[in-house]
Amino acid sequence: MADTAEFIKDLCTPAFVVDLDVAKRNAAVMLDRFQKLGVQLRPHMKTHKTLECADIMTGGSRRCIVVSTLAEASFYADHGYDDVLYAYPLPRDKVQRCAELCERMALFHVLLDNGPALQELKRRPLKQAREISETTGVELYGIYAHCGNTYGCKGREQIEAIAQETTTNLLQFMERYAVPVHSPLGTNFPNFCNSSIGSTPSCSHPVPDMAMLSEVHPGNYVFYDVQQSLIGSCRLEDVAVRVLTRVIGHYPHRNQLLVDSGWAALSQDGGGCLPTGYAVIQGHPELKLTSMTQEHGRVEPVSGPLDFGQFPLGSMFSLIPYHACATAMMYPVYSVHSQGKIVSTWKPVRGW
User: Quick check: 7 binds a copy of itself (CB under 8 A)?
Assistant: no
Indicate the helix (H) or strand (E) that contains 158: helix 156-178
User: Quick check: 12 binds a copy of itself (CB under 8 A)?
Assistant: yes
Q: Are 343 and 19 in contact (CB under 8 A)?
A: no
User: Quick check: 298 binds a copy of itself (CB under 8 A)?
Assistant: no
User: Quick check: 350 binds a copy of itself (CB under 8 A)?
Assistant: yes
Residues 198-227 that bind a copy of itself (CB under 8 A): none
For residues 132 and 126, give the distance between their C-alpha atoms in angstroms, rounded to a whole number.
10
Window contacting a copy of itself (CB under 8 A); options: 163-171, 208-216, 224-232, 290-298: 290-298
Site string for a copy of itself, 233-272 (x = CB under 8 A): -------------x-xxxxxx----x-x--xxx-xxx-x-
Q: Are 70 and 48 in contact (CB under 8 A)?
A: no
Q: Which is nearer to a copy of itself, 79 or 350 (CB)?
A: 350
User: Quick check: 309 binds a copy of itself (CB under 8 A)?
Assistant: no
User: Quick check: 125 binds a copy of itself (CB under 8 A)?
Assistant: no
Q: Which is nearer to a copy of itself, 84 or 185 (CB)?
A: 84
User: Quick check: 74 binds a copy of itself (CB under 8 A)?
Assistant: yes
User: Quick check: 119 binds a copy of itself (CB under 8 A)?
Assistant: yes
User: Quick check: 274 binds a copy of itself (CB under 8 A)?
Assistant: no
Listing DSSP states for 94-126 in one string gives GHHHHHHHHHHSS-EEEE--SS--HHHHHHSTT
User: Quick check: 115 binds a copy of itself (CB under 8 A)?
Assistant: yes
Q: Which of 27, 75, 28 is nearest to 49 (CA)?
A: 75
User: Quick check: 91 binds a copy of itself (CB under 8 A)?
Assistant: yes
Question: Nearest 5°: phi and psi at 110?
Answer: -120, 160
Window contacting a copy of itself (CB under 8 A); options: 17-25, 153-161, 182-190, 328-336: 328-336
For residues 103 and 36, give the distance between their C-alpha atoms in angstroms, rounded to a whole number.
34
User: Quick check: 14 binds a copy of itself (CB under 8 A)?
Assistant: yes
Which of residues 21, 78, 120, 157 is near a copy of itself by CB under 8 A? Answer: 120
Break the chain down into helix, strand, coil percent, rounded to 5: 35, 25, 40
For residues 225 and 322, give the distance between their C-alpha atoms in angstroms, rounded to a whole number.
6
Residue 34 exposed, middle or buried by CB count within 10 Å (0-12, 13-18, 19+) = buried
Listing DSSP states for 180-200 in one string gives -SSTTGGGG-TT--EEEEE-H
Minimum gap (Å) between residue 94 Cβ and a copy of itself: 6
Which of residues 50, 68, 196, 227 is near a copy of itself by CB under 8 A? Answer: 68
Residues 143-202 that bind a copy of itself (CB under 8 A): 148
Cis peptide before 14 (omega within 30 of 0): yes
Which of residues 114, 183, 187, 191 is near a copy of itself by CB under 8 A? Answer: 114
Q: Which is nearer to a copy of itself, 154 or 350 (CB)?
A: 350
Q: Which is nearer to a copy of itself, 212 or 258 (CB)?
A: 258
Strand partners, 292: 297
For residues 105 and 84, give the distance between their C-alpha atoms in angstroms, rounded to a whole number.
8
Q: Are 216 and 198 in contact (CB under 8 A)?
A: yes
Residues that bind a copy of itself (CB under 8 A): 1, 10-15, 46, 68-71, 74, 88-89, 91-94, 97, 113-115, 117, 119-120, 148, 246, 248-253, 258, 260, 263-265, 267-269, 271, 293-295, 313-314, 325-326, 329-333, 350-352
